[in-house]
Amino acid sequence: MAIIKSVRGFTPKLGQNCFLADGAVIVGEVIMGDNCTVWFNAVVRGDVHSITIGNNTNIQDGAVLHCTYQRAKLVIGNNVSIAHNAVVHGCTVEDNVLIGMGAIIMDDAVIGTNSVIAAGAVVLPGTRVEPGSVYAGVPAKRVKDISDDMLEAIRRTARNYPMYAEWFK
């Protein structure tokens, strides 16, 4: 069973048809859109600032979403996939983004629409990821434009996760 916990007078608000896997933790000032999925042992921790998540976003196993107290909230758009063990902290992630496994995105970064953050990449504080680009490395740098195939993979991943959730209901 997932844990949904109020803190500092804030209770998470979930949209329609959201799926929370066993062991997922959603805490505090969190607003989640429709058709979102939060997978096994993922943590969405809105205890020190707000977290807003759009529609059709998936937060995969072991991912951690958090903020910085009184300074950096977290805003995630629509059709975003946050892969296994990623850390997304106090930043803005626009629509149609894939954040790879084990990636770290730090405070005040902005991840532009239709972008990919490669597995293991570290996006430093304040980085502006250009829309339609792929960033990789430590620290993350722009390596190329997103291809049509990659854009379709972002869309397919966002579409598939609600389907996967149905298998567990």
Task: Look at residue 144 in the predicted model and tell me its pLDDT.
Answer: 97
Alpha carbon 144 to chain centroid distance?
A: 22
pTM for this prediction:
0.97
Detail the DSSP E strand segments found in 60-107. Answer: 64-66, 74-76, 81-82, 87-89, 92-93, 97-99, 104-105
Q: Would you say residue 137 has pLDDT above 90?
A: yes
Domains (ranges, CATH) in the chain?
A: 3-166 (2.160.10.10)
**Mean pLDDT along residues 83-106:** 98
